[in-house]
């Protein structure tokens, strides 16, 4: 009995916050998709859902193949990706500096925070009729929808991250003779940089939602435009394929963002 005193019991795989190996993570992720496609197959091929409402997996991917081979769908995919990247980059380039300034300097925060907090609750889709009136139905309108949807979220989230910089680090920098500029650039920004990168990764996912909404109205190209055209012909296979393709592109983008973050901030791997 004395040999067991003080012995720490090894936590199980499903204990809170217990890390798992990369191999186990991949296995669990693949297992979900296997179960998902199995349930989808049973629901469609088993006759539980009519084909009018939900195409089966084979018809869905066959419809996707036809889109690329017969209708040049690759061009629509490229257009949508360019819209997401363009709108997101513009929003990030303007929002990140403003968020840093708001988090570091309380007068700037007091000036901008009420409006930013108000504006971030405004749905970007509600601006589409106005943006069509102001900018037409060209690319500027699509980029503006993404910008509105991403900008205010990024500003507020980064301001919070910068404002959470440990006070003892700031005081130490003051003691060593650093000025306001040095504290922001050499203390606050390096401290919050990994979380800022993670915030941008998350908001990039939201940008995909905004671009599809923008393409559903007043667009003649893009994945959203294809989904609307398929709805007119009740082609659920094409609609589902378009939705899946958005998810697949988003997943690849997300994994790429994570890989870059791990390279830039290796000390965050254990968080």
Whether 144 is covered by a domain: the verdict is: yes
Judge whether 104 lies within some domain.
Answer: yes
Residue 10: the pLDDT is 65
Residues 6+ apart with CB under 8 A from 170: 183, 187, 188
Structural domain for 76, as ranges: 55-62+70-268
In a domain, 32, yes or no: no
Q: Judge whether 18 lies within some domain.
A: no
Average pLDDT of the segment spanning 18-42: 90
What's this model's pTM, rounded to 2 decimal places? Answer: 0.86
Give the residue-averaged pLDDT of 137-151.
92
CATH number, domain at 186?
Answer: 1.10.3720.10
Q: Which of 109-113, 230-234, 258-262 has the highest mean pLDDT?
A: 109-113
Q: Does 31 map to a domain?
A: no
Question: Is 241 inside any structural domain?
Answer: yes
Residue 15 lies in a domain: no
23 in a domain, yes or no? no
The domain total for the chain is 1
Note the pLDDT tens digit of each residue in 91-131.
999 999 999 999 999 999 999 999 999 999 998 888 988 99
User: Can you read off the two tokens belonging to residue 65?
Assistant: 């193949």
């Amino acid at each position: 009995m004395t040999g067991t005193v003080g012995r720490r019991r090894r936590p199980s795989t499903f204990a809170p916050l217990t890390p798992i190996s990369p191999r186990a993570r991949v296995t669990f992720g693949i297992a979900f998709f296997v179960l998902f496609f199995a349930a989808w197959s049973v629901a469609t091929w088993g006759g539980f859902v009519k084909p009018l409402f939900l195409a089966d997996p084979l018809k869905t991917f066959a419809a996707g193949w036809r889109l690329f081979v017969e209708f040049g769908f690759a061009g629509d995919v490229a257009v949508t990706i360019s819209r997401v990247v363009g709108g997101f980059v513009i929003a990030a380039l303007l929002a990140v500096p403003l968020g840093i300034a708001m988090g570091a300097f309380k007068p700037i925060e007091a000036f901008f925070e009420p409006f930013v907090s108000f504006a971030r609750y405004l749905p970007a889709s509600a601006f589409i009729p106005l943006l069509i009136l102001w900018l037409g139905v060209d690319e500027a309108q699509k980029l503006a929808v993404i910008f509105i949807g991403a900008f205010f979220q990024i500003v507020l989230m980064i301001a919070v991250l910068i404002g959470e910089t440990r006070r003892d680090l700031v005081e130490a920098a003051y003691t060593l003779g650093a000025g306001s500029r040095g504290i922001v650039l050499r203390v606050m920004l390096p401290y919050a940089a990994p979380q800022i990168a993670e915030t941008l990764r998350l908001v990039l996912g939201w940008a995909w939602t905004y671009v599809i909404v923008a393409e559903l109205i007043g667009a003649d190209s893009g994945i959203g435009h294809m989904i609307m055209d398929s709805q007119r012909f009740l082609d659920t296979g094409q609609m589902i394929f378009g939705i899946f393709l958005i998810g697949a592109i988003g997943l690849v983008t997300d994994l790429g963002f994570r890989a870059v973050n791990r390279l830039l901030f290796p000390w965050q791997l254990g968080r």
